[in-house]
Chains A and B, each alone.
Chain A
Amino acid sequence: MTLDPILLSRLQWAWVIAWHILLPAFTVGLASYIAVLEGFYFFTGRDVWFRISGFWTRIFAVSFGMGVVSGIIMPFQFGTNWSRFTDATADVLSPMMAYEGLMAFFLEASFLGVLLFGRRLVPRWAHFLAAVMVAFGTLLSSFWILATNSWMQTPTGYKVVDGRFVPADWLAIVFNPSFPYRLAHNVNAFYITTAFVVLGVGAYLVRREKGVGEARLMIRMALDLLIILVPLQIFLGDLHGLNTLEYQPAKLAAIEGRYDTVKPTPLTIFGIPDDKNATMRYALEIPDLGSLILTHSWDGVIKGLKEWPADERPPVAFPFYGFRLMVAIGLIMLAVVIVGQVLLRSGGRIYRSDWFLRLCQWVMPLGFIAVIAGWVTTEVGRQPWTVYGLMRTSDSVSPSLTGSDVAISFALYVVVYLIMFPTGIAFMAGLVRRGPQDGAEAGAIESGLPDRPFRQAAVRPDTDL
């Protein structure tokens, strides 16, 4: 077997970004949640908000630190493995990536220091403001990196000069056609992911009878947010799908598992895609429904993949299954949230329903899985292009790389990430187990170092400062 540097570079990219994306999936939502908690504390002055905020801020700091460390890896991937892509697109993409880095550092890192350690150093309004700025920073980071990704999916505002993309209109580049939908769908997904973590952690704390007052508030806040965001996400996903149909029809055909163009188009519920023979095996289909869902009319047509030459079709299996996994998780989430709301509204039965609290713990990872599934759907679905319709993935790889070069680097990334991430996750789980701390211990945070990741845990419980 020969080692293919293109395939291995793609796998390596998938590996480092899949781990990295888990962190923003959590920190973007959590930063906003902390800002809301700090807002409640600022306006009501009740200590319970302060304790919940402190609890989550400690966890936020750990995941933010891991995000920084795994994020430093990312920009270098463009140079090491995708130098041709970099040379061709940097004039358009690099300022957006640079803004992502600058703003992430500027707002998140600097204000996180104040948020973590400044409770006694700055007035309360300034502390609240710091929380808002951290949240704003995570959103700006999402804005720039998703603008970058969206431009690769739906490029606009460029000229091609000597085979390289050169900016012509920055507004058109940043606000390219798929960007608003991707941004809304992603940020909402991050919020939902975080809310399910808050829900699950709240359920755990109630069951362990640790900080029950705080935990009940967490559960209620999470469920009240989710009953709005989960249906909203289904709506946003639908809009995003319509946008994909318009700008990336081949991706949509892959998501639908549609090889042949049929009018009106049925909806394929499940099947086993066979790219070689361009056919869906064991397809389970509902007539006409595809047209209704995708075009919002009974007789709209979805082009099948056979309308494209074989070398311009994405592989079907990943987008097909990835999409179904994402939708299935969405439906499970909806069910959990509806049941939770019913239990919550019937005189707080929820806090005594051990089975439901357990369920909340089990569904905690679902948001992360959905984010990864959605990401696989959109990224594999746009193959074989890195700049959609214009630059092929196979033309993007660094020309000097051999298969064994990339095999070595990929193996090393696998080993290091398999040490680093489980350790970090175990560390966060330890913080959860300790539960929300009372005022004295929360105060100890401030005697630590006014700086970023993990610092809070640096404090000895016996400190008397």
Chain B
Amino acid sequence: MLLDLVPIWTVLLGLAVFYYVVFDGFDLGVGILYGFAPDAVSRSLVMNSVGPIWDGNETWLVFGGLGLLAAFPMAFAIIIPAVYFPILIMLLALVFRGVAFEFRFKRPALRRFWDGAFCGGSVIATFAQGVVLGTFIQGFKINGREFAGTSFDWVTPFALLTGVALMFGYALLGAGWLILKTEGDLQRWARRIGRICLIGVLIAILSVSLWTPLAFPSIADRWFSWPNIAFLSPVPIITLLIAVLEWRALADGPDVAPFLGAVGLFLISFIGIAISLWPMIVPYHYTLWQAASSASTQAFLLIGTLFLLPIILMYTAWSYWVFRGKVRGDIGYH
């Protein structure tokens, strides 16, 4: 009998999703904030701060999607049709946003159109991802191995809330990134707007933390039954701690601190959701093991992944290293 690879793929997929959320999260967030930037010069700087790296970040969406498909195909086959329209809208928004990077500087006549495409695409893609998250937490109506609901089941107050919540979350990551990559007035602006985003994020975290145990008995049971409550009580305490540190960091902390604080908030939220849903991959119906592909499938893909993934990560790290430091007005998309 082959080794049980499900835990390995769970970790890999979890890391890929978290990587995507943080990295494409900050560049989508930068896109959201782009719409609020004070003037044309700062807009260019805002855009250039993610210019060299956004497409690499976006590729992780494909890794996440294909990873889910390969390791847990039943989950892919149930979840993706359930979020048919959010996925559609997210993909089209990402397309628009992606080409806006390239076309904005080529055709001045259409610049305002592409400006709108960049910001609007970022906002819509983020909202759609938040809706997907909310729909996932809510669970799905299923029949056997198939999704049995309609293509509009995702339209619920909870999913819309998570959609808005993610916009604040990504914008906070984006503000953190801008603080790291810019200086002077633009950086001060990013610190101010970062605080507004943080308030939004904290309201969102609080709402979701109250809503989910009230609406989903299994989540309430997970968190509030003894002895879980003892083990899990540090989670909200740590969240609060990070929130306070992030608030201070946004005021006058080192340039890198607000970004790290935002990542911390995402990490603790991510862990919180994982605790709520474990071990479900199709919430409230199928576990990771039930939805897993055959051991042979998981093994076949794992061999190549373990070889290619470190190299991809090293290359990615190198390209971030090349673009380290503050973004300058004279290099980039001109």
CB of B73 within 8 A of CB of A76, answer no
Q: Is A302 an interface residue (CB 8 A)?
A: no
Q: Chain A: which residue is nearest B312 at the CB level?
A: A106
Which residues from B are CB-within-8-Å of A402? 150-151
Which residues from B are CB-within-8-Å of A72? 58-59, 61-62, 91, 94-95
Name, among B73, B148, B312, the residue most crowded by chain A CB atoms within 10 Å (CB to CB). Answer: B73
CB of A101 within 8 A of CB of B62, answer yes
CB of B294 within 8 A of CB of A167, answer yes
Q: A79-B69, A97-B69, A409-B84 are in contact. Are A423 and B99 (CB under 8 A)?
A: yes
Q: A102-B308, A453-B102, A457-B106 are in contact. Are A409 and B85 (CB under 8 A)?
A: yes
State which of B65, B80, B95 has its C-beta within 8 Å of the C-beta of A83: B80
Which residues from A are CB-within-8-Å of B331? 447-449
A166 CB to nearest chain B CB (Å): 5
Q: Chain B: which residue is nearest A404 at the CB level?
A: B151
CB of B145 within 8 A of CB of A87, answer yes
Q: Is B323 an interface residue (CB 8 A)?
A: yes
Q: A87-B74, A97-B69, A450-B52 are in contact. Are A400 and B62 (CB under 8 A)?
A: no
Q: Is A78 an interface residue (CB 8 A)?
A: yes
Stretch at the interface among B164-172, B195-203, B297-305: B297-305
* Cα-based distance from A458 to B330 in the complex (angstroms): 11
Per-position binary interface string of chain A over residues 100-124, scored 1 when its CB falls under 8 Å from any chain B CB and 0 otherwise: 0111011001100100000000000
Q: A90-B73, A450-B52 are in contact. Are A101 and B92 (CB under 8 A)?
A: no
A419 CB to nearest chain B CB (Å): 8
A36 CB to nearest chain B CB (Å): 25
Q: A90-B293, A405-B151 are in contact. Are A80 and B81 (CB under 8 A)?
A: yes
CB of B81 within 8 A of CB of A400, answer yes
| Secondary structure call for the B interface | helix
Q: Is A42 an interface residue (CB 8 A)?
A: no
Q: Chain B: which residue is nearest A110 at the CB level?
A: B315
CB of A167 within 8 A of CB of B81, answer no
Per-position binary interface string of chain B over residues 284-307, scored 1 when its CB falls under 8 Å from any chain A CB and 0 otherwise: 000000000110110011001100
Q: Is B179 an interface residue (CB 8 A)?
A: no
- Chain B interface size, under 10 / 10 to 19 / 20 to 34 / 35 or more: 35 or more
Q: Is A98 an interface residue (CB 8 A)?
A: yes
Q: Is A188 an interface residue (CB 8 A)?
A: no
CB of B62 within 8 A of CB of A94, answer no
Q: Is A68 an interface residue (CB 8 A)?
A: yes
Q: Is A401 an interface residue (CB 8 A)?
A: yes
* Cα-based distance from A400 to B150 in the complex (angstroms): 6
CB of B66 within 8 A of CB of A97, answer yes
CB of A102 within 8 A of CB of B63, answer yes
* Cα-based distance from A79 to B103 in the complex (angstroms): 30
CB of B308 within 8 A of CB of A87, answer no
Which B residues between 40 and 84 are near A, CB-CB below 8 angstroms? 51-53, 55-56, 58-59, 61-63, 65-67, 69-70, 73-74, 76-82, 84
Of the A-B pairs whose beta carbons lie under 8 Å apart in the complex, a sample of 10, sorted by A's number, is: A75-B65, A76-B65, A76-B80, A79-B65, A84-B146, A98-B67, A102-B63, A105-B62, A109-B56, A405-B84
Given contacts A400-B146, A400-B149, A427-B102, 11 further A-B contacts (CB under 8 A): A79-B76, A79-B80, A95-B300, A97-B66, A101-B62, A399-B147, A402-B151, A413-B92, A423-B103, A448-B331, A449-B52
A binding-site residues for B, Cβ under 8 Å: 62, 65-66, 68-73, 75-76, 78-81, 83-84, 86-87, 90-92, 94-95, 97-99, 101-103, 105-106, 109-110, 113, 166-167, 170, 398-402, 405, 408-409, 412-413, 416, 420, 423-424, 427, 430, 447-455, 457-460
